[in-house]
């Protein structure tokens, strides 16, 4: 569904992503892990057109062939079925939950650039939005203003927005960041459900989650792939242990550094204050 060849991004003398060859198969849930600064978010930005690569290619499955989307804009990559959520919550805070998803559904359709038409005429987009909200567990909060949601519910809404337009590939950048322990289970269930009919590439620092939900794990370190395999193979890889896992054992929530935890907690605190 998605593949790269020699994908590279250089910022002056720094190589953030270094000749990455990668492929994501249909209905596969692949996790992308690695230490801070490994190049994970830069890799996402290259896939979705936020950044233009220095070298290499990005291709998306198009029917029986492949379509080169190297350097395409974020709108163009979304239009061909490559959707993403962000590490920092990215929603329309003053719109209702339903409106957030309806807008995304309309933007993904041929009506996305239709002006001077009453929004009530877009019944199909409202129907799609309500179906998505039901899937992600937010149907009962459809009329709630988005900024009044809990942080965990905002994360669910982000996934709902990414699902609008029925993408082929879904990129999830730390969907559990800042989420309370009570909400993590709902997000995990949602990720696993979405992966039943979408190809999913997940960035996640909670290693218990990664090991439990992933079909496959790719490990980046200093911009390069150092491991690519099943959770069991990656967990036992000496290079991965040295670069990232550091003796991780199930239940230890390994890979969640103090800096990442502090950033997540701060974001959660900010969200709770905004809802107060």
pLDDT number for residue 40: 95
Q: Has residue 252 got a pLDDT over 60? A: no
Q: What is the mean pLDDT of residues 198-220?
A: 94
The 10s digit of each residue's pLDDT in 101-134 is 999 888 876 554 444 445 554 688 899 999 999 9
Q: What is the mean pLDDT of residues 246-271?
A: 48
The H or E element that residue 6 is part of is: strand 2-11
- C-alpha to C-alpha distance for 166 and 198, rounded to whole angstroms: 9
The 10s digit of each residue's pLDDT in 149-163 is 999 999 999 999 999
pLDDT number for residue 120: 53
Domain for residue 106, yes or no?
no
pLDDT number for residue 113: 45
Contact assessment for residue 56 and residue 5, using Cβ atoms and an 8 Å cutoff: yes
Q: How many domains does the chain have?
A: 1
CA angle 204, 184, 74 (to 5 degrees): 45
Burial of 96 (0-12, 13-18, 19+ CB in 10 A): middle
Maximum mean pLDDT: which of 2-11, 87-96, 244-253: 2-11
Cβ neighbours for 53, distance < 8 A, ≥ 6 positions apart? 7, 8, 9, 17, 46, 70, 71
Domain for residue 30, yes or no?
yes
Q: What is the CATH number of the domain that holds 260?
A: 3.40.50.300
pLDDT number for residue 122: 63
Name the residue among 123, 124, 194 with its Cα closest to residue 155. Answer: 194
Q: What is the mean pLDDT of residues 193-210?
A: 93
Domain for residue 65, yes or no?
yes
- C-alpha to C-alpha distance for 273 and 250, rounded to whole angstroms: 33
Domain hosting residue 241, numbered range: 2-92+166-275
Q: How far is CA 2 from the centre of its chain?
A: 14
Q: What is the mean pLDDT of residues 204-220?
A: 93
Q: Has residue 262 got a pLDDT over 90? A: no
Domain for residue 98, yes or no?
no
Q: What's the chain's average pLDDT?
A: 85
Q: What is the mean pLDDT of residues 220-230?
A: 97
Contact assessment for residue 157 and residue 91, using Cβ atoms and an 8 Å cutoff: yes
pLDDT level of residue 12 (50, 70, 90 thresholds): very high
Q: Has residue 96 got a pLDDT over 60? A: yes
What pTM did the predictor assign?
0.81
The 10s digit of each residue's pLDDT in 35-72 is 999 999 999 999 999 999 999 999 999 888 999 999 89
């Amino acid at each position: 569904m998605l593949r790269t060849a020699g994908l590279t991004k250089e910022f002056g003398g720094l190589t953030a992503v270094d000749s990455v060859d990668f492929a994501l198969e249909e209905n596969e849930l692949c996790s992308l892990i690695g230490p801070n600064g490994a190049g994970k978010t830069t890799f996402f930005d290259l896939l979705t057109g936020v950044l233009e690569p220095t070298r290499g290619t990005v291709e998306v499955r198009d029917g029986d062939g492949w379509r080169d989307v190297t350097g395409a804009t974020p709108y163009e990559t979304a239009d061909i079925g490559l959707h993403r959520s962000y590490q920092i919550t990215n929603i329309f805070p003053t719109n209702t939950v339903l409106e957030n998803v309806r807008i995304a559904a309309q933007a993904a359709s041929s009506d996305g650039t239709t002006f001077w038409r009453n929004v009530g005429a877009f019944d199909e987009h409202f129907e799609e939005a309500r179906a998505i909200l039901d899937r992600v567990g937010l149907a009962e909060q459809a009329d709630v203003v988005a900024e009044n949601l809990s942080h965990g519910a905002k994360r669910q809404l982000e996934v709902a927005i990414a699902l609008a337009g029925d993408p082929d590939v879904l990129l999830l950048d730390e969907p559990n960041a800042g989420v309370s322990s009570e909400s993590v289970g709902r997000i995990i269930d949602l990720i696993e459900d979405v992966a039943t009919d979408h190809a999913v590439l997940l960035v996640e620092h909670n290693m218990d989650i990664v090991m439990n939900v992933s079909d496959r794990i790719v490990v980046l370190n200093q911009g390069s792939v150092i491991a690519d395999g099943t959770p069991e193979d990656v967990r036992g890889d000496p290079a991965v242990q040295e670069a990232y896992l550091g003796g991780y054992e199930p239940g230890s929530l390994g890979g969640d550094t103090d800096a990442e935890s502090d950033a997540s907690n701060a974001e959660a605190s900010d969200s709770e204050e905004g809802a107060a």
